[in-house]
Amino acid sequence: MLSSRERICSTSKQPTMDPAKDVHVLVLAHPVQGHINPMLQFSKRLASKGLKVTFLIPISTKKSLNLVNASSVQVEYISDGFDHLSIDESLKHFRLSVSQGLSDFIQKHQSCQDNSATVLIYDSFDCWALDVAIEHGMHGAAFFTQSCVVSCIYYLVHQGKVKLPVEAVDGQGRVLSDPPAMSVLGLNDFPSFVVDVHKYPAILKMVLRQFSNFRKAKWLLFNTFTELEEEMVNWMGNQWLMLTVGPTIPSLYLDKRLEDDTDYGLSLFKPEAEACLRWLDSKPPCSTLYVSFGSLASLGEDQMEELASGLRSMKSHFLWVVRESEEEKLPRNFLQELGLDDDKKGLVVRWCNQLQVLSHGSVGCFMTHCGWNSTLEALSLGVPMVVMPQWTDQPTNATFIVDVWKVGLRVRANERGVVTGEEIENCVNEIMEGGERGKEIRENSLGWKEMAKRAIDEGGSSEKNIQEFVSNVLDLCT
């Protein structure tokens, strides 16, 4: 079996008439599903334009990673020293170990003269990767996997323009009026890391450190599209050079210009795709609520009980993703009550192919935690949302979903911090039953779907930016 170096060297010997094929780009992903997906999808866009792309993932994720379809991109694993460490130990040592693993990988590539990489695209959460790239004479491109608004908040905090802990500055509970796009945010709409600064100090340090050396990067890439965050993009564009390159979603669901691009390609979870699609096929159009809180969020037992109660009571069918680690929180006998045949009201699965589900004709609403990937997927597929944010950037995303883009409703927690089943049922019914507000939300959702498609299609804002990035890379390397 060939080593990483041997595989890359042998590939470079293949004859080609396209100069872009001789330009090699490395992409370093942060080993979390919500970060892997957009960076791998962007890698496929670059590969479709002729660049050779190697996608790097820390090796500790390999045992849980399902490689589905990433044939246009070479996937490699680099040492991170965490094969047998706990999550806490991994977080503590991640930077040091992966820095060394990345440095070793680059050195191996540089010894292969015909195919050494000159550009490293790195997750902005791992800003130390830029220092490694510069040390080896490479150019760096920071890839921001969260929205421009959230990234700007972290930037302002890092610069000392917003003090921690974040506090409201006026009687309306607002924190910032400049940039103007921030004026919609109240104190509880800010990312949890800057509101409750003592709860996750290590993660707070990481998200702020994104901006410690970002000006050394040659490119700043953002997983959004200009039309979606126009005010924020314009403001940030006046501060530094940045490119919007999203939404980073498989081409099948947007422009359909990338052949066989039907899935992200790498998954830390195994989806129950066949069971989901078979069940959804048995349901009428727009009759089903899809419920998922992503790969990390964890609900308390009281909240799981209320959510289950709301799902039982509502008129709609439901497909609920409950990760294996969360199953024990389900109410007793809940799964048995659903029945076993395709006529049952609800289906509970451990994981699904979210794009397949959101694009299915029977799905009429998405109950979501508002992770940025889930938000972009729902916007791009025109699916209205009921939002129940949990932590990190999700409260900020939820506010924009409801108050700015107007494509969803937000459930509100009671005095115990729990969203009741009745509250959930009412919000879902308002969207699903076709009332005046639900109709407006559905129309807005379809409007954003068209804008997302135009952004990544030929001549669109993100497509132009991706082409500009590729042209810049070619100018540097040829």
List of E strands, 104-170: 119-123, 139-144
**Could you tell me the CA-to-CA distances from 255 to 244, 245, 399, 452 in Å, in that order?**
17, 14, 28, 9
Q: Which of 80, 123, 189, 261 is catalytic?
A: 123
Distance, CA of 233 to CA of 175 (rounded, Å): 20
What DSSP assignment string belongs to 344-380? SSEEEES---HHHHHTSTTEEEEEE---HHHHHHHHH
Distance, CA of 438 to CA of 239 (rounded, Å): 38
Helix (H) / strand (E) containing 105: helix 87-110
Asked about 93 being catalytic, the answer comes back as no
Are the CB atoms for 217 and 242 separated by under 8 Å? Answer: no
Residue 101 sits at the vertex; the CA angle it makes with 241 and 58, to the nearest 5 degrees, is 80
What length is written for the chain? 478
Distance, CA of 79 to CA of 249 (rounded, Å): 28
Distance, CA of 248 to CA of 297 (rounded, Å): 22
Distance, CA of 209 to CA of 197 (rounded, Å): 15
Identity (one letter) of the amino acid at 286? Answer: C
Asked about 123 being catalytic, the answer comes back as yes
Residue 401 sits at the vertex; the CA angle it makes with 396 and 406, to the nearest 5 degrees, is 145
Distance, CA of 112 to CA of 118 (rounded, Å): 12
Are the CB atoms for 240 and 215 separated by under 8 Å? Answer: yes
Structure-block tokens of residue 84? 């047998």
**Could you tell me the CA-to-CA distances from 292 to 6, 100, 127, 320 in Å, in that order?**
42, 36, 30, 6
C-alpha dihedral sign at 81, 82, 88, 91? positive
CA-based end-to-end distance of the chain: 32
Distance, CA of 83 to CA of 97 (rounded, Å): 11
- Burial group, residue 174, by CB count within 10 angstroms (0-12, 13-18, 19+): middle
Q: Which of 35, 136, 360, 369 is catalytic?
A: 35
Distance, CA of 236 to CA of 142 (rounded, Å): 15
- For residues 35, 352, 318, 304, the Cα torsion angle rounded to the nearest 10 degrees is -60
Q: What is the CA radius of gyration of the chain?
A: 22
Whether the upstream peptide bond of residue 247 has omega within 30° of 0, thus cis, is yes
As annotated, the active-site residues are: 35, 123
